[in-house]
Structure 1
Amino acid sequence: MSKPAILQIGAYPAWDETPLNQAYDVRRYFEADDKATFLAEHGPQVRAIATRGELGANHTLLDACPNLEIVSVYGVGYDAVDLDVCRARGIRVTNTPDVLSGDVADFAVTMMLAQTRGVVAGDAWVRGGAWAQTGNLPLQRRAWGRRAGILGLGRIGFEIAKRLSGFGMQISYSDVAPKDYAPDWQFIATPEDLARQSDFLFVAAAASSATRHIVNRPVIEALGPEGMLINVSRASNVDEEALISALRDGTLGSAALDVFENEPQLDPRFTTLPNILLQPHQASGTVETRKAMGDLLRANLAAHFAGTPLPTAVI
């Protein structure tokens, strides 16, 4: 019996590549120089797409695969998958939630601490000889006891808030509605009001057309010149133009970003700003979590082709 043909959109670690190739007839789209020709040749045979959250599957990919049955996403975000097309054609979509929430939350808090305490600057201060030549690093700011706002109290936002509780912070959140699993944290109806009473604003909302630029100029201005924005969700949730402008003129104190529009080709203006911490979309980047993500991606594919319920179905 022939193996199902799968279109692989981006590379995976070796521990995922090997079992994927053993179980399926993998067509490696990401290695093709002429992608249009590659799709024309292989698309009609493809029954599944294996992709990553930031790569997704747009309508061009989906249209090139008339016999497509499922899109399995390696990552929690599926905003880059054209869900309208998938629904119309009865194509199933899965993702890998929960297994990465802890690591992403850890990294969000790590970025907050690194930025507010000047960890990267301190390392450069020592390595460059300024400590010996000039003296101590200029004083930084504390994290504990201050005010944290969580924009989006889903799986990841909840884990961020749990960690911040250990810092004795005042924790507030904004979401579509109050959450009964967060009785000790204050619900704030709008992002702007949340920002206004936060020293640190963590963006953890799922990305969609409704949340595009939910962190806009008024929200950034409300966070203010002493505030810090931390984004571990999707770049589309933040108006990058407004953010860059606010960081430049001091309207916003600082930021820490793990996600960017058009990454890895981020807006070069980000690299010129002294009050921002830049990271290469690595919040879920641990060996343990990436292995769990790969296991779940393959479990969804295996369940589909076996005709059993999908472990983590989106649609």
Structure 2
Amino acid sequence: MTAKKPLVIVTRKLPDIIETRMMELFNVRLNLDDHAFTPAEMADAVKEADVLVPTVTDRLDSRILAQAGPQLKLIANYGAGIDHVDLASARQRGITVTNTPGVLTEDTADMTMALLLAVPRRLIEGERLLQSGEWSGWSPTGLRGSRIWGKRLGIIGMGRIGQAVARRAKAFGLSIHYHNRHRIDAAVEEELEATYWESLDQMLARMDIISVNCPHTPATYHLLSARRLKLMQRHAFVINTSRGEVIDENALIRMLAAGELAGAGLDVFENEPAVNPKFLEMPNVVALPHMGSATTEGRNDMGEKVLINIKTFADGHNPPDRVLEDWV
């Protein structure tokens, strides 16, 4: 007798190649028009699904998970970050949670480096000047930015992405510094010529550029608080391709407006998809719509990991990307 295929409910439209393979393997309910699920739709999904495939745009808090049916045993998240899933509630209900780590490392590091170049060199300002037709030609004082060669880069979070950023930045002549929960392996530290700072406060006060590459957890919410932002030098820049919640946005806006920081490159925001309009009005801010993982290769690789996690779980084994209890 053929085993019954699990009902897999997917909350957003995935790449065609992934949806096709998913349909071959499982009993699947797709989101063909790619609309964001309402809370009522999400509640219905957890009541029916054997496997739920959410994304970063979904909120699976305790109230939603309290409505889950007993058959829901796996949340196979499409994405590496899982701060939108209440892990404690999931564990309490015997629901395994998986994610897709590793496959977005290079793409996110590329985006971090792009912002790290674009903000100090005022690339977007220059492009807007051309588009407006107001550029009158080259001049010795026009659009002067800041050189990055020889500057100090402080990386907050030296995991896969932080290390990939460090490798790129080292090639551009930046001095690599980092703060992390745990000091990285000595061999990697030597390869990157990276200086470890146990004190985040001390590192912030001495860097020219700060790159946020740590996950959003209860411990990192507003890690860059108003107090910590004020430790930074006036000529310093902030780059964030992690999660908006890691930075106190209101404090960052106040300091940028007052000239207490030189600029910011942001791919993520606290209240996505809403973005504080003040960011969009500032010439020294490059704001992007959460594009860090937006490559065809990366999104397909994410989907492949979701498929493997579901198939492994359905076959009665522990999925390879199970989120462990000590994630936070």
Same fold (TM > 0.5): yes
Kindly report which structure 2 residues correspond to 1:112-131, keeping only aligned pairs within 5 A, or say none. Answer: 112-131=116-135
Query: Paired residues, what number?
Result: 314
Unaligned runs of 5+ in 2: none
| Offset from partner CA, 1:275-299 (integer Å, 9 cap, x none) | 1100010011111111111111111
Residues 119 and 193 from structure 1, CA distance in 2 versus in 1: closer, same or farther, beyond 3 angstroms?
same
> 1:115 Cα deviation (Å)?
1.1
Please give the secondary structure, in 2, of the residue aligned with 1:132.
coil
The equivalent of 2:250 in structure 1 is 241
Instruction: Give the match for residue 178 of structure 1.
Output: 183
- The 5-angstrom pairing of residues 81-100 of structure 1 reads 81-100=85-104
Q: Post-superposition shift, 1:76?
A: 1.2
Q: Alignment partner for residue 107 of structure 2, among 98, 103, 108?
A: 103
Q: Aligned-residue CA RMSD in angstroms?
A: 2.1
Q: 1:226 to 1:31 in 2, by over 3 A?
A: closer
Q: Which stretch shifts more, 1-10 or 171-180?
A: 1-10
Deviates more, 1:9-18 or 1:164-173: 9-18
**Cα–Cα, structure 1 residues 130 and 32, in superposed 2: closer, same or farther, change >3 Å?**
closer
Q: Using the TM superposition, give the Cα deviation of residue 116 of structure 1 relative to its aligned residue in structure 2, in angstroms.
A: 1.1
1:15 alignment counterpart: 17
Structure 2 counterpart SS, 1:171: strand
Give the direction of change, closer, same or farther, for the CA distance of 1:301–1:148 in structure 2 (3 Å limit): same
SS at match of 1:75: coil
Indicate if the aligned counterparts of 1:10 and 1:55 stay in contact, CA closer than 8 A: no
Q: Does 1:57 align with 2:64?
A: no
Note the C-alpha offset of 1:33.
7.6
Residue equivalent to 1:307? 316
- 3-state SS in 2 of match to 1:222: coil
Secondary structure at the counterpart of residue 182 of structure 1 = helix
3-state SS of 1:173 partner: strand
Q: Distance in 2 between matches of 1:170 and 1:140?
A: 19
Tell me, in whole angstroms, the C-alpha distance in 2 between the residues paired with 1:41 and 1:219. Answer: 43
Aligned partner (choices 190, 197, 200) of residue 188 of structure 1:
197
**Distance of aligned partners of 1:82 and 1:34 in 2 relative to their CA distance in 1, 3 Å threshold:** closer
Distance 1:192 1:275, change over 3 A: same
Q: How far 1:122 moved relative to its partner?
A: 1.5
> Greater share of helix residues, 1 or 2?
1
Kindly tell me: are residues 193 and 32 of structure 1, through their superposed partners in 2, closer, same or farther at Cα, counting changes over 3 Å?
closer
Q: Residues 308 and 195 from structure 1, CA distance in 2 versus in 1: closer, same or farther, beyond 3 angstroms?
A: same
Change (3 A) 1:43 1:202: closer
Rate the CA distance shift 1:293–1:128 in 2: closer, same or farther, 3 A.
same
Using the TM superposition, give the Cα deviation of residue 40 of structure 1 relative to its aligned residue in structure 2, in angstroms. Answer: 5.8
TM-score normalised to structure 2 length = 0.89
Structure 2 counterpart of 1:179, one-letter code? I
Post-superposition shift, 1:263? 1.1
Once the two structures are TM-superposed, the CA of residue 240 in structure 1 deviates from its matched residue by 0.8
Q: Distance in 1 between matches of 2:302 and 2:43?
A: 30
